[in-house]
Structure formats: C-alpha cells, structure tokens
Chains A and B, each alone.
Chain A
Amino acid sequence: MTATEPKAAKLIVEGLCKRYGATTALQPSSLSVAEGEFLTLLGPSGSGKTTLLQLICGLVDASEGRVVIDGRDQSSTPVHQRDIGLVFQHYALFPHLTVAENIAFPLKMRGQPGAEIAKRVSGALDMVHLGHLAGRFPRELSGGQQQRVALARCFVYQPSIILMDEPLGALDKKLREHMQIEIKRLHRESGATIVYVTHDQEEALAMSDRICLMNHAKIEQLGTPREIYERPRTAFAADFIGISNIFRGRWDGNGSLDTAHGRFALPQGARCETKDAALVIRPENLRIGAQDGNMVSGRVSEIVYAGSETRVIAALQDGSQLVLRLGPDDAVPAIDEAIVAGWPRDKAVLVA
C-alpha cells in the first residue's frame, strides 16, 4: 500500500533529541506522519525507537526539538493534555477497574456525560468483540483479551494520534498474527493515525504504510516497506529487514565491485557515497548457476524445508554463509554438494 494522495501532516517531529548526561538516547531526528497513516518505528533494542515514542507522547522531556500535532506546537504540553493515545507494551490496564471502567477512564477524565460514556464504551467493546466481558477484571482475561481492552481504551476517545509501544510483544506467534490483522482492521475502520513501535521486522513489513528504521539512536531509513526491502540504503537496513547475502568490497566508481569472492557486476546506474561499499542480494534472487556473469561458489551445508520454499545454506570459501531460497519446482542440491550460485545484476542493491 502506498500513500498516493498528499494528506495533511498530523504529526511533525523536528530535530527531536534526548540526552541523559553523556549518553544520547536519541540523536536529533525529524519525521512527519500524515493523517490516517500507519507508521512503524522499527529497530533493535537500544535503537532509540521507544525514546522517540515517549518524546512524542510527552512521558519524557526532550533535550531539544519540537513536536507538532495538528499544526500546534505541543513540545511543552504535559502528557495528559496532549490528546494522544498510548498502548503500552504490557497493556497497563488498571487492575482495580473492570474492563468497562478501564475503557470509560479516558472519557471520565474528559468530563463526558454518563450516558455518552456508556454508549461509547459499549461501542468500543463491540469493536473489539469483548461485549460479554465488560464486568470482568483485567487479570481474569487472557493476554489477547487484555490487549484488545487496551486497544479499545485507546480508540474509544479518538485521540489525534495513537502510539503503540510493542503492543504484541508479550503474545505468542499465532495470537500475534491474529492481533496484527485486528489492529489493521481497527486502523482502517477508524481512520486513526498510528505510530507503532516494534523490533519485529516481519510485523513492520506486514502492517505499515511506512517504516522508520532506527539504529544507534538515529533514523537509518524512512520509506514504504517495499522501498526498504527492495532498496535498502545501508548494509544494516538490508541485514535487519529480511534475510540478505551481503558482500563487502571496493566500488570501482563504475559498474563493478571487487570483493573477496571476485568481481561482481552492479545494477545499471548504481551509485554509492563511498568507495567502501557492499552488495546486497536477497535469497529469492539467487539461483543455482551463474547469471549475468555474477557467481560465487560454495558447498551446501544445510537444507531447510519450509513448505512453500526450500532454504539452502552454503558455506563459501572464506567460511561465510550464503542463503538461497528455492521455489517448490526448483531442483534442490544435496548436502555437501559443491554449487555455483548467481543472480541477475539488476536484482542486487549497492549500499554504503
């Protein structure tokens, strides 16, 4: 999915930065989120994604920079007046309140009349299919149900922006995938603007309109999932998202890269800022046999059958690993077999 029509910027972050003494939790970062967009902050732990989220919602004071929501500078607005919603990693449901009371909490804080609260709470409960559990306490619910209550509590007061801090981190794989679809549905139905934090790259690819990839307390790359997957800008981006075969080498300033495994032909017009560069090839673009003159040779060390595909892992001469993804119709080599693998030159990406 791509954001084709230009929409109004719901959230603008300008030069936002956080330092704790000598350590920098977030280097000055800027980004803008459009109305109705689903933006994911993706990165390994310690990459600054949660810090950025906390700065946006005001739980942490910024060292520098501005947060603009709906065109208003909210940098010094206290948390409770920012009109943002935050779904916490461990849900943060109030244990002393029932499901319905938890969902009613933000409405009560906004001084809404009782009848209106009752109506909207039951609407929110229906939205997450938990109408029958309104009187239960959070600890009487399963993890997935608690997660839905947390979502309902956030969607019920229709905040300007909804922030989610690894909301599915505590769920098992099956439930996580189910809840991903659920969150996508809520996003579509409500038209809410969502900033989502995760360290799970598959989750980010599956859910986001755009991904903001973070590493070492700064933004590494910002783009649609397809852009980031197909056109990673750095070796980190290539390595973190999906599986990549990365060959480091020296760019000759023209159409080829010299590596320990030989000279590889680069895609047409590939450019790089530095002479030290790397070539990224996704496993699905590798084939048995040389292609466009690009080839590496190795010995098959492992074969992983995964139903729709078969992953072949080969050891190269210098001991590094090469991963190929073969389709169901491709011939699968045997373990210990010497193979030659190659790729179409335009399917590789040159990165810094």
Chain B
Amino acid sequence: MSAVKIGSAPARAMSRLRPNALWLAAPGLLFLAVFFVWPVAQLLGLSAVDPDSGALSASSYQRIAATDVYLRVLGITFRIAGWTALWSLLVAYPLAYWLARLPDMFRGRMLLFVMVPFWTSYLVKTFAWMLILGRTGVINSLLTGAGVADQPLSLINNQFGVMVGMVHAMVPLAVMTMLPVMTGIDRRLVQAAQTLGAAPVRAFWLVYFKLSLPGVAAAGLLVFISSLGFFIVPAFLGGRQETMLAQLIITQVQELLNWSFAGALSAMMLAAALVSCVVYDRVFGLSTIAGGAAQVGTGRIRDLGLAILSVVAGAAAKLADVVRAVLGKTICARLLPGFCWLVIAFLVLPTLLVIPIAFTSSQFLQFPPPGYGLSWFETYFSSPLWIQATIRSFIVAFVTALAATAIGGFTALALANSRTRWGGLIFAFFLAPMIVPRIVIAVGLFYLFARMGLIATDVGLVIGHTVLAIPFTLVTIAAVLKTYDQRLDQAAATLGANRVRTLTGITIPLVKGGLVAAFLFAFITSFDELTIAIFVSGGIKTTLPKQMWDDMILQLNPTLAAVSVVVLVIVTAMLLVAERFRSSPSSRS
C-alpha cells in the first residue's frame, strides 16, 4: 500500500480495502477450481468420449440406456434416497423441535447426542448394525434365546436393513440442518397466535410449522443428495435388490477400469443431485441452507399452500383434542420428550454396542460376549498394517485440518469484510463439495491424480480430504465471524493498528474458539473419510477407514470392533473439545 498524503486518506483507504478483502477468498477459489471443479468437469466430459478411440461419443450413455439394469439401479437409488429422506424428516422433526425449545445451556448438552452420531464414522455405524441385525446378531440372539422366534429373522441384506442403516446415518444431518431454522423462529409468534384465538396445536401448524418449512426442505434436500451417493450402508446391509448407483461406479472403476462408463454413471448421479437442488431453489431458495431468509412465494401457489396448511392445522387440532381426551393431559405432555428420548436411544445405543463386543474373549462376534478380555486390542496394536493405517490417518487428518482451516478462515474473512453481491454465490460455491456426491468427486480426483502421479500418496489424500472439509470449516468460522463485532476492528484501526496487527491482535484471538472447532471438524472429516480413500490410497498405503472397509468386505472379526472403539473414542474426544471451544468463542485458554 502506498502512502497517501492528501486529506481524504481514510476514505480512499477504505474504498480500496473493501474490494481487496475479497482477494482473501482467492486461494480457496483456486484450490476448489483445480481440485473440485476441474476433475468433476473432466469426468463428465469423459463420459461423452469413446474409451478406445478418444472421439466424441455417446456410447457410454447408449450402454446405460441399452439394458434396463442401470436404469433399474438408478430407480432403486432414487427410491432408497427418497424413503430415507422421508423417514429421516419424520424422525428428526420432533427431535429438532424439542431441542429448539430447550434452554440454550441445556440444548448445547443435549445436542451432543446428535453431534456424536453425526460425526461417527459411517463404517462404525454400519458395522454396529451388522452386529445388531445380522443372522447371529444381537436381536436374533435375544429373540431365539428367549424362544420368541424359532428361526432367525432376516433383518439384513434386504430393504429393511438398508432403511434402518440409512435413516440412522441421516437423522443427525436432518436434525442439524433443521435446528438453526427452528431456533431462529420467534416463539412469541406462536404465543401471539394463541392470544389471537388459535388453539395451541393449530397455532403450531399455522405459524411454527410454516416458518420451519425452509429448514425441513433443506434437510430433506441434503439427506436426499447424501443418500444418492451412499454405498457403505447398501453394500453391507442391503441385498442385490438394494444395489445403489455408487456401488456400480466403484465396481466400474476398481474392477473393470472402465473410466468413461464410470463417468457416465457419475454424470447421471450429479444430474440427479443438481435437479434436486434446482427444484429446491425454485421452491424455497438456496439461501435458506446458509441461514438466509426464505423467499415468500406469490400468487396461486402461495394461496394453495396456505389453504392446505389451514386444513391440516384444523384437522390436527381436532385430532389433538381427541388424543388429549383419550390419553389425558399429563401423558400428552410427555409424548414429545418420550419420543425424542427414543430417537436419541436409536441414534446412540447401536454404536455403543460395539464397545462390549470389542472386549470379548471369544473368537467370534457373539452377543452377549462369553467373557471379556483385551485380546482384540492386542491384535490391533500389534498389527503393523492397522497401526500404519492409523498413523497415516492421523497425519493426513492433521495436515488436512490445517489446510482446510486456513482456506475456510480466509474465505470467511473475505466474505465477512466485503459487501459484494457475489458473496452469496461464493459462499454457495464453497459449500458445493457438500452437495456434489462424494463418489463423483472421488472418481474425478482419481482420474486427475492418476495423471499427476498422486495416487497412493499422502498428498493426494490431503488434497481430496481438504476439498471435502472446506465447507465445514467455512460454515463454522463464518458463524463465529457473524457474531463478531466488526466495530472492534474499526476501533483497533482508529487506535493505530494496521490490518495485520488488527488481525493477529484482535480478530484471531477473539474468534480462536471457532478456529479450533473448525480445525477439529476438518480433522474428523478426514479421519473418518472413506470414499476418496478407496480410490486414492492404494496398496499398503491405506488409511484407517480404508483398512476397515477392506476387512469388512473380507470378513467380520472382533478386531473391527476394537478399531471401531478406538475411532469412536478419538472422534468423540475431538468433538467434545471442539464443542467446548465453539460454545465459548471468547474464552481464553
């Protein structure tokens, strides 16, 4: 910056600084352009190229259309994702509503029951359900043991198993997406409706439910899109009838090495995700995901919506009267907390079940364990394969967390300090790795890395994981900066601090809690990550989740339970620390 001598220096400096702040987002934009947009675009391009001749060709798509296998899988994928979204919303809405009503202090504590399952590795969760639902699993052992059932029930490798696993995996995401919208609803509006003559149930539907709809839609969208790209749950809990698109893509790349066909399938999945987003945007506006105000529809659609709502509200009010008359007031008041504790039990208990099994003395995964011992932890700690995978995961996660926090932090700072109208768009772009199915990013990166020689390298893993972790760090830091009083920076400036001194002396110390939380979230994201690891870590250079995946495909063994416990302990510990830092942003250590 050159020195300005004339009187209007502050004004000029301001006008030059404001657009400059946006440059802080440049490293992140560049990074995502190279390692997210480019590989995904290339993958889509690849789908339109003949694998042998390299010429432009629709052969891959013709192959998709030629047999009904792929369309059927696409149908299955949509069906499972749709049902998962519906069930997740039905289960998550009451829980989110209940959490939103709790006092702030208490809610923070209860939220851990959602946060821990949210960040728990899908592999661990799925492994737990295999132990519970399997033919010799917990439920069947209990049922046959008690003589309730003669034959083991088939709870796994069918649609039931997939739905249980998927809903269990997705409810935390749905709750976390709906909760900010719900806590943002002014509860006095419901009171106002009541003073104006609406019975409590009617007031809830006419006001609260209507205002929570953007959150519901955002949750539905995120769950649906995440479910579209899922492969862990259907691979282990589903049967042939529940094969999903992502599983086909993995097979095409890993076993058949058919790039262009994998590209075509990825294009299909991406298109499905994008269409969902567009539909959502038309109805609700994408800004609601970022916590913005919902658009209010106009005209006939809005009138129709309000009319439907008022019919629903009237019916619900009548139903509530009947229910209250039958069950009595006290029981009715306990229905919601009762249901919510059931949901929390559903979210938390299955994963906890892994713990006793990890300490089993048996050679097999039986429940209850015949005796307890540490033999499987010994197996884990004495196995060079597992230990190397663990160390690699730690290193990769650490570097990923540093990179993602830096990029996310600078971007959040850029967005907070500039009033550009592109702000929303840039924010949405940085969130895109969360919307685009991971499998699409993973396949795209694999292709890119193959040509850059980054396959089976830690650098490749770090890059891939950083792409996935950036949305989490950006959202976390942006949330802290939002509550940060910008006037403190201005005060520092008037007191003589330059931009750098202000940043290091005022801003960073005050948002430290958010930075630590972002770092830990990025760490967990990488530590738990499987999709990119499947493609990018090759041979003996594997990560912990990849090693678990390989073992689970090969054969279930109690070592997996021991590893699950280790992962569970690490992730939970990090999460508790992250929450501690996040809940007290201005705390001093």
List residues of A whose CB falls within 8 A of some B CB.
57, 59, 78-82, 84-86, 88, 90, 92, 94-97, 101, 105-106, 108-110, 137, 139, 153, 157
Contact = CB atoms under 8 A, between A and B. Distances in A.
Nearest to B190: A92
B264 to A, nearest CB: 43
B198 interface: yes
A83 B351 CA distance: 52
Contact of A96 (B196, B202, B211): B211
Contacts of B293: 139
Contact of B195 (A84, A97, A101, A110): A84
B115 interface: no
A46 B327 CA distance: 39
Contacts of B186: 90, 92
Given A59-B195, A80-B203, 6 more contacts: A79-B191, A80-B195, A88-B191, A92-B192, A95-B189, A157-B196
A219 B191 CA distance: 26
Interface residues of B, number: 22
B284 to A, nearest CB: 12
B200 A80 contact: yes
B296 A80 contact: no
Contacts of A82: 195
A96 B193 contact: no
Nearest to B185: A95
B159 to A, nearest CB: 38
Nearest to A139: B293
A101 B307 CA distance: 12
14 contacts: A80-B197, A82-B195, A84-B195, A88-B188, A88-B192, A94-B192, A105-B193, A105-B196, A108-B310, A109-B197, A109-B198, A109-B202, A110-B197, A153-B196
Contacts of A79: 191, 194-195
Residue from the set B188, B197, B210 with the largest chain A CB neighbour count within 10 Å: B197
A92 B310 CA distance: 20
Contacts of A90: 186, 188
A86 B195 CA distance: 6
A86 B192 contact: yes
Contacts of B211: 95-96
Nearest to A165: B188
A57 B195 contact: yes
Contacts of B191: 59, 79, 86, 88, 92
A35 B495 CA distance: 60
B353 interface: no
Contacts of B76: none
Contact of A78 (B189, B196, B200, B296): B200
A17 B125 CA distance: 52
A166 B197 CA distance: 21
B176 interface: no
A139 B295 CA distance: 12
A82 B200 CA distance: 13
A92 to B, nearest CB: 4
B200 A85 contact: no
A153 B211 CA distance: 20
B197 A96 contact: no
Nearest first, the 7 closest Cβ-Cβ pairs linking A and B are A109-B197, A92-B192, A106-B196, A86-B195, A79-B194, A92-B188, A80-B194
Residue from the set A86, A90, A94 with the largest chain B CB neighbour count within 10 Å: A94
B248 interface: no
A75 to B, nearest CB: 16
Contacts of B194: 59, 78-80
B332 to A, nearest CB: 13
B202 to A, nearest CB: 8
Contacts of B203: 80
Contacts of B306: 97, 101
B296 A106 contact: no
A178 to B, nearest CB: 24
Given A95-B211, A96-B211, A96-B296, A109 B192 contact: no
Nearest to A83: B197
B189 A106 contact: no
Contacts of A101: 306
Given A94-B207, A96-B211, A137-B296, A80 B189 contact: no
Contacts of B86: none
Nearest to A91: B192
Interface string B193-223: 1111111101100010011000000000000
A101 to B, nearest CB: 8
Contact of A157 (B188, B197, B199): B197
A82 B186 CA distance: 22
A96 B203 CA distance: 13
A126 to B, nearest CB: 20
Given A90-B188, A96-B211, A85 B195 contact: yes
A143 to B, nearest CB: 16
A185 B43 CA distance: 71
A181 B200 CA distance: 34
A80 B188 contact: no
A153 B192 CA distance: 10
A133 to B, nearest CB: 15
A96 B198 CA distance: 16
A159 B458 CA distance: 71
A92 B189 contact: yes
A84 B195 CA distance: 7
Contacts of A153: 196
Nearest to A86: B195
Nearest to A54: B191
Interface in B162-192: 186, 188-189, 191-192
